[in-house]
Amino acid sequence: MKHIAIGILGAAAFGFMASAASAGTLDTVKQKGFLQCGVSTGLAGFSAPDDKGDWKGIDADFCRAVAAAVFGDASKVKFTPLSAKERFTALQSGEIDILSRNTTWTSNRDSALGLDFVGVTYY
């Protein structure tokens, strides 16, 4: 029973630390007034600019949904096209606020990159 209580307290503390880190990013996004979203460099159906330069696809729509949740306005998002090589560095450096593009979630990436992966949007 003692081990369960320690485990629960540890999980609660970890959850609080993750919330605090996320709050910093959220505060930064709110101060800027827009969400900087990293997407693929042009993958039809996921994130690709149309003839007018407007980003289309599920990844672009996810970014708009986050902007709508934060600002109440889905248009408060700017897209940054990134290659597979650039994606994690851009997120770690703060160049982008979130990454919404084809990325495999592996145990190595989950533990080594210092990033928070969220639920899978396309399986």
Q: Do residue 42 and residue 20 come from a single domain?
A: no
Of residues 118 and 45, more confidently modeled: 45
Task: Give the global pTM.
Answer: 0.73
Q: Do residue 75 and residue 15 come from a single domain?
A: no
CB < 8 Å & 24+ apart, contacts of 80-83: 80/36, 80/37, 80/38, 80/39, 81/38, 81/39, 81/40, 81/41, 81/42, 81/47, 82/38, 82/39, 82/40, 82/41, 83/41
Q: Name the domain count of the chain.
A: 2
Of residues 61 and 19, more confidently modeled: 61
pLDDT of residue 100: 87
Of residues 55 and 117, more confidently modeled: 55
Q: Do residue 48 and residue 108 come from a single domain?
A: yes
Q: Which domain holds residue 16?
A: 1-32
pLDDT of residue 23: 65
Q: Do residue 68 and residue 110 come from a single domain?
A: yes
pLDDT digits (tens, 9 = 90+) for 64-110: 999 999 999 999 999 999 998 888 789 889 999 998 887 766 677 66
Rounded CA-CA distance 76/64 in Å is: 8
pLDDT of residue 88: 79
Q: Do residue 5 and residue 61 come from a single domain?
A: no
Q: Do residue 49 and residue 63 come from a single domain?
A: yes
Q: Do residue 97 and residue 58 come from a single domain?
A: yes
* All residues at 6 or more sequence positions from 47 whose CB lies less than 8 Å from its CB, including other chains: 39, 40, 55, 56, 57, 58, 59, 60, 79, 81, 100, 101
Whether residue 26 has pLDDT greater than 70: yes
Q: Do residue 72 and residue 22 come from a single domain?
A: no
Q: Do residue 70 and residue 12 come from a single domain?
A: no
Q: Do residue 28 and residue 60 come from a single domain?
A: no
pLDDT digits (tens, 9 = 90+) for 47-76: 999 999 999 999 999 999 999 999 999 999
pLDDT of residue 40: 92
Are 87 and 99 in contact by the 8 Å Cβ rule? The answer is yes
